[in-house]
């Protein structure tokens, strides 16, 4: 019973705090991996195809296309493709029409097969040697594409993601606090080896390295580790910046993460993330620490709490049980009182619980390829 408390408690402490201290210290002790120079310099900047998969984005797509066309990149070497998931279905909204009106080079009106298959269709139609991807609600800074593309001067790098800053955070959501910590971890992982996940708002992939995969699973989680298993690198480029509007409430963030985890669990359990074959040793430790233990967090919390309650006759375990119950109480209070410590507690509890809720949804109902945005979520 003591092991049932101390093992999950130690794993939680490592995943939430210890791992970050470890990669920061290791990065300080070791130099960053030097880039491998290209064997032959390209005669000019590569042709880039910027692919935006969109479903029901009539209110955003014109602004997104204009933002893409304003990037600091030669216009003759930039192709903007909008792949409209469900655009060929009866009753589709005006997303495709508005994308053409705004100046997109190609607009694909597709059957409703989900975001990943829409991206695959965009790749098949693209003429670029570098594929960039973004969401309709993400706005790139003018120099973002140039910063992303610079990473690919190293032929070992097959994937690069940028930095997203959330705006409009006047509500209760505390996602920005968590996101800054996650980006800090990514910066260290990228410098030492490769990132363990990307983000859908701003990233790019070499055309010859692009992999089609399970349509239920986003590129954010699936592409980086699959490319690393192929002997390539996936990196973080903080100079490539974009903004995205934050879900205003913690409850909206709960719905968003629950939806995301329903799509993540197939790749965690069945898609190869758990399989260590092909991982370099340091990267394997990163995947376990930053991904697998984070996804195990709700179950580790429950195991530690149950063991602490069973051992509560002893003062140490009684205090440990009270600490976890106090966290739950603070999270409940955060639904009524907008005090920062209570909101942080509520954010942590609900987003951790969303991992388990997503697993339940996956096990009970499966995972569809497409999804509709949860109310209040982006």
pLDDT in tens, 320-331: 999 999 999 999
Q: Evaluate whether residue 164 is within a structural domain.
A: yes
> pLDDT, tens digit, for every residue of 211-228?
998 888 889 999 999 999
Q: What is the mean pLDDT of the chain?
A: 93
Question: For the whole model, what pTM was predicted?
Answer: 0.93
Q: Which pLDDT value is given to residue 20?
A: 97
Instruction: With residue 6 as reference, give the H or E element that holds it.
Output: helix 2-13
Q: Is the pLDDT of residue 5 over 80?
A: yes
User: What is the CATH classification number for the domain harbouring 87?
Assistant: 3.90.550.10
The whole domain housing 98 covers 48-249
Q: Evaluate whether residue 105 is within a structural domain.
A: yes
> pLDDT, tens digit, for every residue of 331-350?
999 999 999 999 999 999 99
Q: Evaluate whether residue 9 is within a structural domain.
A: no
Q: Locate 267 and state its tokens.
A: 């790749």
Q: Evaluate whether residue 19 is within a structural domain.
A: no
Give dist(CA 82, CA 67) in Å, integer. Answer: 13
Q: Which pLDDT value is given to residue 373?
A: 58
- Tokens 């120079």 found at: 37
Q: Evaluate whether residue 53 is within a structural domain.
A: yes
Question: What is the number of other CB atoms lying within 10 angstroms of the CB of residue 119?
Answer: 24
Q: Evaluate whether residue 295 is within a structural domain.
A: no
Residue 248 is classified by DSSP as S
Q: Which pLDDT value is given to residue 367?
A: 85
> pLDDT, tens digit, for every residue of 290-319?
999 999 999 999 999 999 999 999 999 999
Q: Evaluate whether residue 173 is within a structural domain.
A: yes
Q: Evaluate whether residue 279 is within a structural domain.
A: no
Instruction: With residue 160 as reference, give the H or E element that holds it.
Output: strand 157-167
> pLDDT, tens digit, for every residue of 227-270?
999 999 999 999 999 999 989 999 999 999 999 999 999 989 88
Q: In the chain, how many domains are there? A: 1
Q: Is the pLDDT of residue 170 over 80?
A: no
Q: Which residues are CB-neighbours of 193 under 8 A, at least 6 positions away?
A: 33, 228, 233, 280, 282, 283, 286
């Amino acid at each position: 019973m003591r092991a049932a408390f101390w093992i999950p408690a130690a794993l939680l402490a490592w995943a939430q705090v210890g791992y970050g201290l470890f990669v920061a210290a290791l990065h300080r002790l070791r130099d960053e991996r030097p880039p491998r120079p290209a064997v032959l310099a390209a005669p000019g900047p590569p042709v880039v195809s910027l692919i935006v998969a969109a479903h029901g984005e009539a209110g955003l797509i014109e602004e997104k296309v204009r933002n893409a066309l304003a990037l600091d990149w030669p216009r003759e070497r930039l192709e903007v493709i909008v792949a409209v998931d469900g655009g060929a279905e009866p009753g589709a909204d005006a997303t495709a029409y508005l994308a053409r009106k705004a100046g997109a080079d190609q607009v694909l009106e597709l059957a409703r097969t989900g975001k990943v298959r829409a991206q695959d269709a965009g790749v098949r139609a693209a003429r670029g040697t570098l594929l960039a991807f973004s969401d309709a609600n993400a706005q790139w800074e003018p120099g973002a594409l140039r910063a992303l593309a610079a990473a690919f001067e190293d032929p070992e790098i097959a994937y690069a993601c940028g930095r997203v800053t959330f705006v409009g955070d006047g509500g209760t959501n505390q996602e920005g606090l968590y996101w800054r910590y996650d980006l800090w971890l990514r910066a260290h992982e990228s410098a030492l080896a490769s990132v363990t996940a990307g983000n859908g708002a701003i990233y790019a992939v070499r055309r010859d390295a692009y992999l089609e995969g399970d349509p239920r699973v986003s590129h954010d989680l699936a592409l980086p580790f699959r490319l690393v298993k192929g002997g390539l690198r996936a990196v973080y480029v903080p100079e490539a910046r974009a903004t995205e509007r934050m879900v205003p409430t913690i409850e909206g963030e709960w719905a968003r993460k629950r939806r995301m985890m329903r799509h993540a669990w197939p790749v965690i359990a069945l898609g190869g993330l758990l399989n260590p074959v092909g991982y370099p040793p340091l990267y394997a430790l990163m995947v376990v620490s930053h991904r697998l233990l984070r996804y195990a967090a709700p179950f580790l919390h429950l195991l530690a709490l149950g063991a602490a309650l069973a051992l509560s006759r002893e003062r140490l375990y009684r205090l440990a049980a009270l600490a976890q119950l106090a966290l739950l109480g603070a999270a409940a209070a955060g639904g009524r009182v907008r005090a920062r410590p209570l909101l942080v507690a509520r954010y942590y509890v609900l987003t951790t619980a969303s991992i388990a809720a997503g697993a339940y949804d996956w096990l009970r109902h499966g995972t569809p390829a497409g999804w509709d945005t949860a109310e209040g979520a982006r």
